[in-house]
């Protein structure tokens, strides 16, 4: 599309109604909204019945101990059985569950029967090691099938997994293992990235060196890199090969914890978001079917890493509960060439693609000539997640990737919500580029003011969720008080999501980004305080402030302002050393794009750092109101620092 066509489309304020073909065959029609509005709990009851249960539930929702919800009270099920065995039992054992494509081009085709064998073996092997129900098993792995086997094996045993993104540093890994007090870690020698093996095991060794309670480290051999070995290490293949392929899953309570997933908050260390079984799987399955309009012949590819919630709910649990065929890809989009994703879509005939705006913007920057070299005609549905998608990127996605025929579902949700909450339905909703449109059936979202009062259409405020939903988080691991404080204390009984939002006059919802000090960098959540702590842990740094500045590709970019101790020498490499230090402390995703060494930080008279002003500086805007500043001259100093700072990477 030429620049001018794109401009025209954007200025026309176009909406894209469902095509007649889609509307005619969609899994969900407008009646779902009426049905859910008439009896919300009956609606979720019906969705839960699509899973295999042992004992039926006696009550759909118990909210008497709010905000600690129980869904499908007294019901029993096994999540792994629902994602694996039942598809084999219903005659789909030969259907492909996973098309795996390794970064070097190695492939594996895993049917549901294979998946049952692998998960059963892994479950037996973990049992033999001593893994029991309620255990927290940390998984730190590349995007390889064993990562999925490991998650499903834990689920099968009623043990929680805590998947830590493989891009996190040893320090970040340690704090998560410590918080969950994991006795077991599952990892790999490494994974392949951009044509070369990247190590993982050394980070596990470093992270667990002083954690005596870590009993076993199970290591998948993926890259054949040399690894250090102690007697608490055990090879996955030795352990799993020796295990029986028969495993009868036990049924657990609907509220049996399924996983912890650590995510950044405004203050303090990352929090372990706790999800449980029955409600979580119900909403993952419902939304997978409804939002992506999944059909049994679809080949579905969600590009998220299993280290994030999208990888949990929409690489593993939602699609596998539905018995879908998923693509699992180990590598990056640009290796060995910038058409790798499109090549994979052509190769596997992918029909549903779910990815993030930051990826779409990157591809747009690389140019449409690249995807145009491949046959993308198998695609019929596109999804977006992780941050607001700008209309330009939406239009590019629709036109260049979707050939103007695929609906785009922009799905708003969070680690805490467990599954999608606001999204178009492809057969029902007319889409507007950049908007997640409407809450899904059975989900009660409101936009509220400071007092927690629901606003009318046409107004803007905070995004809130007014009634409990099946896949809601059940708590923060080991910290009920923080759970209540963070989400439930602003307005009683109403969930505070942390996002700003506004209603258009017709009720369309526009998400406006975080209202707290959480940054969104390439769809990843990073808190300003975490990066600030990493900066001040560097020898010679006295104080640091961090903001997320608008960025064309990554949505937001991390910009740090650092005050040095008087005696610290400013070497030419200092800024780079600081950036590397943050990367080492947290992980490359948290590496600041820019750092400015300054003499002062703008503070209110009560001593609070005025991040708003720093953001103005970082985005090169005219400064906002500085009258509450203790010393307005400070901003002039910072500006000077800014002009001298280099914009690297
Ligand atoms: C935050 C949650 C949802 C899984 C991946 C991120 C932002 C997410 C959208 C969207 C606008 C979005 C919000 C939210 N966000 N999806 N479609 N439109 N904003 O999960 O790391 O828990 O981050 O991501 O700000 O609060 P997460």
Write out the two tokens for 621: 């805007």
Query: pLDDT tens-digit profile of 87-98?
Result: 999 999 999 999
The mean pLDDT value of the chain amounts to 93
- Whose C-alpha lies nearest to ligand 1, atom 2? 414
Query: pLDDT tens-digit profile of 343-394?
Result: 999 999 999 999 999 999 999 999 999 999 999 999 999 999 999 999 999 9
Instruction: State CA 498 to chain mean position distance.
Output: 16
- Out of 225-234, 399-408, 516-525, pick the least confident: 516-525
Phi-psi region of 418 (alpha: psi -120 to 50; beta: other; left: phi over 0): left
* Substitution site in 316, 397, 414 for ligand 1 pocket (most atoms within 8 Å of beta carbon): 414
Phi-psi region of 507 (alpha: psi -120 to 50; beta: other; left: phi over 0): left
pLDDT at 623: 59
Q: Is 555 in the pocket of ligand 1 (CB under 6 A)?
A: no
Q: Is 422 in the pocket of ligand 1 (CB under 6 A)?
A: no
- Note whether 186 and 150 are within 8 A (CB): yes
- Note whether 227 and 196 are within 8 A (CB): no
pLDDT at 560: 94
- Note whether 431 and 407 are within 8 A (CB): yes
pTM of full prediction above 0.75: yes
> Mapping DSSP to helix (H, G, I), strand (E, B) and coil, where does residue 439 land?
strand
Q: How many CB atoms lie within 10 A of CB 27?
A: 17
Which residue segments constitute the domains of the chain, with CATH numbers given? 444-514 (2.30.38.10), 522-648 (3.30.300.30)
* Substitution site in 501, 523, 590 for ligand 1 pocket (most atoms within 8 Å of beta carbon): 523
* Substitution site in 356, 408, 413 for ligand 1 pocket (most atoms within 8 Å of beta carbon): 413
Question: Could you identify the residue written with the tokens 């469902």?
Answer: 18
% pLDDT > 90, the chain: 84
- Note whether 261 and 230 are within 8 A (CB): no
Does the pLDDT of residue 8 top 70, yes or no?
A: no
Rounded-to-integer distance, Cα 465 and Cα 366, Å? 38
Torsions phi, psi of 74, nearest 5?
75, -5
pLDDT at 194: 92
At residue 625 the predicted structure's pLDDT band, cuts being 50, 70 and 90, is low
Rounded-to-integer distance, Cα 343 and Cα 69, Å? 44
* Substitution site in 261, 419, 421, 525 for ligand 1 pocket (most atoms within 8 Å of beta carbon): 525
The contacts of residue 635 (CB under 8 Å, 6+ apart) are 602, 613, 617, 623, 626, 629
> Mapping DSSP to helix (H, G, I), strand (E, B) and coil, where does residue 526 land?
strand
Q: Determine the average pLDDT of the residues in 271-288.
A: 98
Cα–ligand 1 centroid distance for 387 (angstroms): 5
% pLDDT > 70, the chain: 94
> Mapping DSSP to helix (H, G, I), strand (E, B) and coil, where does residue 133 land?
coil
DSSP state, residue 588: G
User: Comparing 602 with 305, which gets the higher pLDDT?
Assistant: 305
- Whose C-alpha lies nearest to ligand 1, atom 6? 386
Residues in the chain: 649
Cα–ligand 1 centroid distance for 462 (angstroms): 14
Q: Is 414 in the pocket of ligand 1 (CB under 6 A)?
A: yes
Q: Is 415 in the pocket of ligand 1 (CB under 6 A)?
A: yes
Q: Is 514 in the pocket of ligand 1 (CB under 6 A)?
A: yes
Phi-psi region of 74 (alpha: psi -120 to 50; beta: other; left: phi over 0): left
- Whose C-alpha lies nearest to ligand 1, atom 18? 388
At residue 102 the predicted structure's pLDDT band, cuts being 50, 70 and 90, is very high
Does the pLDDT of residue 224 top 90, yes or no?
A: yes
């Amino acid at each position: 599309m030429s620049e001018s066509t794109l401009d025209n489309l954007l200025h026309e304020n176009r909406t894209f109604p469902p095509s007649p073909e889609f509307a005619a065959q969609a899994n969900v029609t407008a009646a779902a909204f009426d049905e859910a509005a008439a009896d919300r709990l009956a609606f979720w009851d019906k969705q839960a019945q699509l899973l295999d249960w042992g004992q039926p539930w006696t009550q759909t929702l118990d909210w008497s101990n709010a905000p600690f919800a129980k869904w499908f009270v007294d019901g029993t099920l096994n999540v792994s059985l629902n994602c694996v065995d039942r598809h084999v039992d219903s005659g789909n054992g030969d259907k492909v569950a996973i098309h795996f494509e390794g970064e070097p081009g190695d492939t594996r085709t895993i049917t549901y029967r294979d998946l049952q064998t692998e998960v059963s073996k892994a479950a037996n092997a973990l049992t033999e090691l001593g893994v029991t129900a309620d255990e927290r098993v940390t998984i730190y792995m590349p995007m390889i099938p064993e990562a999925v086997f490991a998650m499903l094996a834990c689920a099968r045993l009623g043990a929680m997994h805590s998947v830590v993104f493989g891009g996190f540093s040893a320090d970040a890994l340690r704090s998560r293992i410590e918080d969950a007090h994991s006795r077991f870690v599952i990892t790999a020698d490494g994974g392949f990235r951009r044509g070369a093996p990247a190590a993982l095991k050394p980070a596990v060794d470093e992270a667990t060196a002083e954690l005596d309670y870590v009993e076993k480290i199970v290591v998948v051999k993926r890259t054949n890199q040399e690894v250090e070995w102690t007697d608490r290490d055990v090879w996955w293949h030795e352990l799993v090969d020796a295990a029986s392929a028969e495993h009868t899953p036990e049924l657990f309570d609907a509220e049996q914890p399924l996983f912890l997933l650590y995510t950044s908050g405004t203050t303090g260390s990352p929090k372990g978001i706790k999800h449980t079984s029955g409600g979580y799987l119900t909403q993952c399955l419902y939304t997978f079917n409804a939002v992506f309009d999944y059909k049994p012949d679809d080949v579905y590819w969600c590009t998220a890493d299993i280290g994030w919630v999208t990888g949990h709910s929409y690489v593993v649990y939602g699609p596998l509960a539905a018995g879908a065929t998923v693509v699992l890809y180990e590598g990056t989009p640009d290796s060995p060439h910038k058409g790798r994703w499109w090549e994979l879509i052509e190769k596997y005939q992918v029909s549903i693609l779910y990815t993030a705006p930051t990826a779409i913007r990157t591809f747009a920057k690389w140019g449409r000539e690249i995807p145009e070299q491949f046959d993308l005609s198998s695609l019929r549905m596109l999804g977006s997640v992780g941050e607001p998608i700008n209309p330009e990127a939406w239009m590019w996605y629709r036109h260049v990737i979707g050939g103007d025929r695929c609906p785009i579902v922009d799905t708003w949700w969070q680690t805490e919500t467990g599954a999608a909450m606001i999204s178009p339905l492809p057969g029902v909703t007319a889409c507007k580029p950049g908007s997640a449109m409407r809450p899904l059936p059975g989900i009660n979202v409101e936009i509220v003011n400071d007092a927690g009062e629901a606003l009318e259409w046409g107004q803007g405020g905070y995004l809130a969720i007014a009634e409990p939903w099946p896949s809601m988080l059940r708590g923060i691991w080991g910290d009920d008080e923080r759970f209540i404080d963070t989400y439930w204390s602003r307005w009683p009984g109403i969930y505070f999501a942390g996002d700003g939002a506004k209603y258009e006059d017709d009720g369309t919802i526009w998400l406006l980004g975080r209202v707290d000090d959480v940054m969104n960098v390439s769809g990843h959540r990073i808190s300003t305080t975490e990066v600030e702590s990493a900066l001040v842990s560097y020898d010679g740094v006295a104080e640091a402030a961090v903001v997320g500045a608008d960025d064309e590709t990554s949505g937001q970019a991390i910009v740090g302002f650092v005050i040095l101790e008087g005696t610290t020498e400013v070497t030419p490499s200092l800024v780079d050393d600081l950036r590397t230090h943050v990367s080492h402390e947290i992980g490359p995703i948290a590496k600041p794009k820019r750092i400015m060494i300054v003499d002062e930080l703008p503070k209110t008279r009560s001593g609070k750092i005025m991040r708003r002003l720093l953001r103005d500086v970082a985005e090169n805007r005219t400064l906002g109101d500085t009258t509450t500043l203790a010393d307005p001259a400070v901003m002039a100093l910072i500006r000077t620092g800014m002009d001298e700072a280099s914009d690297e990477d």
